[in-house]
Homo-oligomer: A and B are copies of this chain.
Amino acid sequence: MVEGRRLKPVTNVVSTKKELIEALPLTGSVGLVMTMGALHAGHRQLVDAARKENETVVVSIYVNPLQFAPGEDFDTYPRNLAQDLELLGDVDIVFAPTDEEMYPREPLVRVNPGEVATRFEGKTRPTHFAGVLQVVAKVLNLVRPDRAYFGQKDAQQLALVRTMVADLDMRTNIVAVPIVREESGLALSSRNAYLSTEERNLALALVGSLRAAREAAAAGASPEETEKVLSEALEAAEGVAVDYATIVNPDTFQRVSSNAKQGLGIVAARVGPTRLIDNMEVTFG
């Protein structure tokens, strides 16, 4: 019997580590995209990048409790596996474990993300990056991908994952995928679903301040002056409670040096009850 041609890609959805490992191919490159579900066009961009560069694409869908603090939105975080699978398109393996599967016990040995994780996003979420790195380490160790794709949107997470991979000698290339924006400029985020129409407009202040900073830098502003443009633009915006607005070195997340050629503008602010982040590269001209 001749097997019919596959008209539609068949995704292998697995929920245990054992099934995951058995589903992995013995040869050929593997690309990994880690998500918490609630997929949008930004995730799709990660999957498309993985699809282009790898023979096998693995997507994990898991809302990692370890990266949420008590009082954060772990319980209300949107979960809809069926809808996520539809949005994913052509991937080979989806790993969607339960909490019991991922953490059969409270982990005793932990990834310590170091000092960078106490600043910016880590200041308001002191246990967040430790939880992120724990689950990223676990899934990288399970899948052993050639490449793992992370969004530039979560720039501090990206920097920390890169640092972990280097410091623990994990054999995976971390690939940064550019931020996807709506036509308005708003960076895509699962949390945009929480925004009212009015709040979506107010939220444009984040990208607006970053663009102002980029233009100032290109026009010759120093890092210090550029940071002033960024933070003043965001502080001036109505309906936006600024958490931080600064220029950092994109690899170390330390304050950018006075003679730097490049920096990363990073902003975080609350719009209504929703906390949003955004970032943009700036080149000092």
Chain A residues within CB distance 8 Å of chain B? 17, 21, 107-116, 133-134, 137-139, 141-142, 144, 160, 163-164, 167-171
Contact = CB atoms under 8 A, between A and B. Distances in A.
A223 to B, nearest CB: 23
Contacts of A134: 167-168
Contacts of A107: 167
Contact of A109 (B139, B141, B164, B171): B164
B114 A168 contact: no
Contacts of A108: 114-116, 163, 167
A21 B172 CA distance: 12
Q: Closest 3 CB pairs between A and B?
A: A107-B167, A112-B112, A109-B164
A182 to B, nearest CB: 34
A116 to B, nearest CB: 7
Contacts of A141: 141, 168-171
Contacts of A114: 108-110
11 contacts: A108-B114, A108-B163, A110-B111, A110-B112, A111-B112, A112-B112, A137-B168, A138-B167, A138-B168, A142-B169, A144-B171
B142 A144 contact: no
A168 B109 CA distance: 8
A160 B108 CA distance: 9
A112 B164 CA distance: 13
A169 B17 contact: yes
A137 to B, nearest CB: 5
Contacts of A163: 108-109
A133 to B, nearest CB: 7
Candidate in A109, A110, A134, A167 with the most chain B CB atoms within 10 angstroms:
A109
A109 B160 contact: yes
Q: Which residue, of A112, A116, A139, A170, has the highest number of chain B Cβ atoms within 10 A?
A: A112
A98 B184 CA distance: 52
A67 to B, nearest CB: 15
Nearest to A252: B108
Contacts of A115: 108
B169 A110 contact: no
A114 to B, nearest CB: 4
A138 B137 CA distance: 12
Contacts of A139: 169
